């Protein structure tokens, strides 16, 4: 099974952008907004922020 890249555009508030920028600068393995959003969603879904989400994020 191959993953197909799709492109979507979203509008962020300044507060959301600031939060994502903070995630990018302070979390190893998060290098762009796409990864930061994915990390935030996984953290909320799991109600954890223990690094397991980051491992899932960086697996490709």
What pLDDT score was predicted for residue 13? 94
- For the question of whether the overall pTM of this predicted structure is more than 0.85, the answer is no
8 Å CB contact between 38 and 56: no
pLDDT tens string for the chain (60 positions)?
A: 577 878 888 899 999 999 999 999 999 999 999 999 999 888 887 765 555 555 555 544
For residue 38, give every residue at least 6 positions away whose Cβ sits within 8 Å of its Cβ, in sequence order, or none: 57
Query: Rg of the chain over CA atoms, in angstroms?
Result: 12
């Amino acid at each position: 099974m191959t993953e197909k890249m799709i492109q979507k555009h979203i509008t962020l508030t300044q507060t959301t952008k600031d939060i994502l920028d903070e995630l990018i600068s302070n979390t190893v393995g998060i290098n762009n907004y796409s990864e930061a959003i994915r990390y935030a969603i996984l953290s909320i879904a799991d109600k954890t922020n223990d690094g397991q989400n980051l491992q899932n994020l960086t697996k490709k």
